[in-house]
């Protein structure tokens, strides 16, 4: 199963320090973070754990085609 293209662009968000679980399957309803949908769908994909150490603005990949998950690398521009 290919990951779903949830958005052809990043989710740009101001993040607080903490651990985050970016959805790699694209099916979550709490974009861009995992809501467990991958288990229900049997998508064969699991979330990517990321620790944000300092407050910062993050561009989370929305298209799920990035080569640098969980972050946007501009791959959406080629879709």
Which residues here bind ligand FES, judged by CB under 6 A?
23-25, 27-28, 34-38, 45-47
Task: Say if residue 32 is preceded by a cis peptide, omega within 30 of 0.
Answer: yes
- The C-alpha atoms of residue 50 and residue 68 are separated, in whole angstroms, by 12
- The C-alpha atoms of residue 54 and residue 36 are separated, in whole angstroms, by 26
- 27 vs 76 by CB, closer to ligand FES: 27
- 6 vs 58 by CB, closer to ligand FES: 6
- 4 vs 55 by CB, closer to ligand FES: 4
What's the closest the beta carbon of residue 54 comes to ligand FES, in angstroms?
25
């Amino acid at each position: 199963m290919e990951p779903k293209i949830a958005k052809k662009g990043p989710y740009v968000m101001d993040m607080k320090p903490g651990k985050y679980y970016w959805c790699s399957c694209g099916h979550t309803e709490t974009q861009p973070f995992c809501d467990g949908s991958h288990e229900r769908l049997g998508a064969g994909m699991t979330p990517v754990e990321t620790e944000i150490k300092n407050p910062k603005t993050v561009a989370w990949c929305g298209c799920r085609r990035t080569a640098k998950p969980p972050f946007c690398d501009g791959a959406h521009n080629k879709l």
